[in-house]
Amino acid sequence: MLQTTSSHRPSQRPDKTMMEKLLGHDTAISAFLDRFKSGRFPHAWLFEGPVGVGKAHAAHMLASVVLGADYQHGNGTLTVDDEDEIAHKIATGAHPDFRQVQRAPDNNGKLPQAISVDVIRDMNGFFELRAAQGGYRVAIVDSVDELNANSANALLKTLEEPPEKCLLMLIHHGSASLLPTIRSRCVKLNFSRLKDPDLRACLDDADINEELLVLCEGSPGRLREMTALDGGVELLRDLKAALIDWPGISAHRMPSVMAKISKSELHLELASSFLAKKFSDMAQSEPSGDSRSLYASYWSRLYNVRTKARRLNLDLAEQSSQLLGLVRDLSNEMRATA
Chain segment 148-191, per-residue pLDDT in tens:
999 999 999 999 999 999 999 999 999 888 999 999 999 999 99
Q: What angle do CA 220, 209, 299 make, to 5 degrees?
A: 70
**Host domain of residue 300:** 229-337
Same-domain check for residues 312 and 176: no
Same-domain check for residues 245 and 172: no
Same-domain check for residues 186 and 63: yes
Residue ending a domain, among 132, 165, 192, is: 192
Same-domain check for residues 40 and 135: yes
Provide the terminal-to-terminal Cα distance of the chain, rounded to the nearest Å. 24
Enumerate the β-bridge partners of residue 142.
171
Tell me the pLDDT of the chain averaged across its residues.
Answer: 90
Tell whether 242 is covered by a domain.
yes
Characterise 37 by phi-psi region: left (phi > 0), alpha (psi -120 to 50), beta (else).
alpha
Rounded Cα gap, residues 79 and 23, in angstroms? 9
Tell whether 332 is covered by a domain.
yes
Average pLDDT over residues 89-101: 95
Residue 289: per-residue pLDDT: 85
Residue 8: per-residue pLDDT: 55
- Of 9-18, 91-100, 134-143, 285-294, the poorest mean pLDDT is in 9-18
Same-domain check for residues 161 and 253: no
Same-domain check for residues 118 and 166: yes
The length of the chain in residues reads 338
Same-domain check for residues 310 and 241: yes
Residue ending a domain, among 192, 218, 241, is: 192
CATH number for 174: 3.40.50.300
Report phi then psi at 2, rounded to 5: -60, 140
Same-domain check for residues 34 and 94: yes
Same-domain check for residues 151 and 247: no
Same-domain check for residues 235 and 145: no
Residue ending a domain, among 145, 164, 192, is: 192
Average pLDDT over residues 112-133: 94
Our count of domains for the chain comes to: 2
Q: Among 114, 99, 117, 179, which Cα is nearest to 154's?
A: 117
